[in-house]
């Protein structure tokens, strides 16, 4: 059974950095890109970027370029999404997802002073 | 960048109704379109991929059609479990940058 299990909820202050993990099981980690998607409260889905776990190549959405870093650790079959210079507008649920339609359960990040 | 426009934003319907949601791409994406269903507090669930292929385990009342720039998701007979928000997603560009439509909320009439 394919599973993407994300790390738990985070509360951060403005200006801080958050790093979320996404541990996969049930398939070969390097077979698929890993994407990250943001969903602000009551809003739609916004694509943030992807990593190719095979070689670490990344592509980021223009909106998040410069603040987001997506990585993959093939020794632990885990992908990471780090978002820096957090502001209140970054309060959202963050999902990891594969092109084959598997999604993590989501991680709520709350940015508040 | 490819933009995806869904309509309507909200749809009020009754159990048993036939429901159609439209998604338009700003340029041709061939058939590289997926449809997702999302319920409150849950991750999106894949319903349709490659415009018209039904994901395993998804009820046959869901169907997708279209190619190029215009696509539709149809629910042939709306069931109580189908009240949710639906998103289209394009994955045309290499290497698979995603763009989502703004979503369509299907509400009980």
Residues B92-96, mean pLDDT to the nearest whole number: 69
Residues A95-102, mean pLDDT to the nearest whole number: 95
Tell if the CB–CB gap between A50 and B96 is shorter than 8 Å: yes
Q: What are the backbone dihedrals phi and psi of residue A94, each rounded to the nearest 5 degrees, phi first?
A: -115, 130
Q: For position B95, what pLDDT does the model report?
A: 66
Chain B interface disruption, residue of A5, A45, A95, most B CBs within 10 A? A45
Which CA distances in Å does A54 have to A3, A11, A51, A57, A78?
Answer: 19, 31, 9, 8, 12
Q: What are the backbone dihedrals phi and psi of residue B43, each rounded to the nearest 5 degrees, phi first?
A: -70, 155
Residues B33-47, mean pLDDT to the nearest whole number: 97
Query: In this complex, which of B1, B46, B95 lies closest to A33 when CB atoms are compared?
Result: B95
Q: For position B17, what pLDDT does the model report?
A: 96
With beta carbons under 8 A apart, name residues in chain A contacting B95.
33, 50, 52, 59
Residue A83 pLDDT > 80: yes
Nearest CA in chain A to B95: A59
Q: For position B59, what pLDDT does the model report?
A: 97
Residues B12-25, mean pLDDT to the nearest whole number: 97
Tell if the CB–CB gap between A44 and B101 is shorter than 8 Å: yes
B79 touches chain A (CB under 8 A): no
Q: For position B37, what pLDDT does the model report?
A: 98
| Mean pLDDT computed over every residue of chain B | 95
Q: For position A98, what pLDDT does the model report?
A: 95
Cα of first residue to Cα of last residue in chain A, in angstroms, is: 40
Spatial contact of A112 and A56, defined as CB atoms under 8 Å apart? no
Tell if the CB–CB gap between B100 and A52 is shorter than 8 Å: no
Residue B93 pLDDT > 70: no
Residues A71-79, mean pLDDT to the nearest whole number: 98
Tell me the pLDDT band of B45, cut-offs 50, 70 and 90: very high
Residues A25-54: tens digit of each pLDDT: 999 999 999 999 999 999 999 999 999 999
Residue A68 pLDDT > 90: yes
Establish, for the pair of chains A and B, how many residue pairs have beta carbons separated by less than 8 Å: 48
Q: For position B1, what pLDDT does the model report?
A: 84
Strand boundaries in A7-106, DSSP class E: 10-12, 18-25, 34-39, 46-51, 58-60, 68-73, 78-83, 92-97
Nearest CA in chain B to A42: B40
Specify the 3-state DSSP secondary structure of A6.
strand
Chain A interface disruption, residue of B7, B35, B88, B98, most A CBs within 10 A? B98
């Amino acid at each position: 059974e394919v599973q993407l299990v994300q790390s738990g909820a985070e509360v951060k202050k403005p200006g801080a950095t958050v790093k979320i993990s996404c541990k996969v099981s049930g398939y070969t980690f390097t077979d698929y890109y890993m994407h990250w998607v943001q969903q602000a409260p009551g809003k739609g889905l916004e694509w943030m970027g992807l990593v190719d776990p095979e070689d670490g190549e990344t592509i980021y959405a223009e909106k998040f370029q410069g603040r987001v870093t997506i990585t993959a650790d093939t020794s632990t079959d885990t992908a990471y999404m780090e978002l820096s210079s957090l502001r209140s507008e970054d309060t959202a649920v963050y999902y990891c997802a594969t092109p084959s339609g598997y999604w993590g359960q989501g991680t709520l990040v709350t940015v508040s002073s | 960048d490819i933009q995806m426009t869904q309509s309507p934003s909200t749809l009020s319907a009754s159990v048993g109704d036939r429901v159609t949601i439209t998604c338009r791409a700003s340029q041709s994406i061939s058939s590289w379109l997926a449809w997702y269903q999302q319920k409150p507090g849950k991750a999106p669930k894949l319903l349709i991929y490659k415009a018209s292929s039904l994901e395993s385990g998804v009820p046959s009342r869901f169907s997708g059609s279209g190619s190029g720039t215009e696509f539709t998701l149809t629910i042939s007979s709306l069931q109580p479990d189908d009240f949710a928000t639906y998103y289209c997603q394009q994955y045309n560009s290499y290497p698979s940058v995603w763009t989502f439509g703004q979503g369509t909320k299907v509400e009980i009439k």
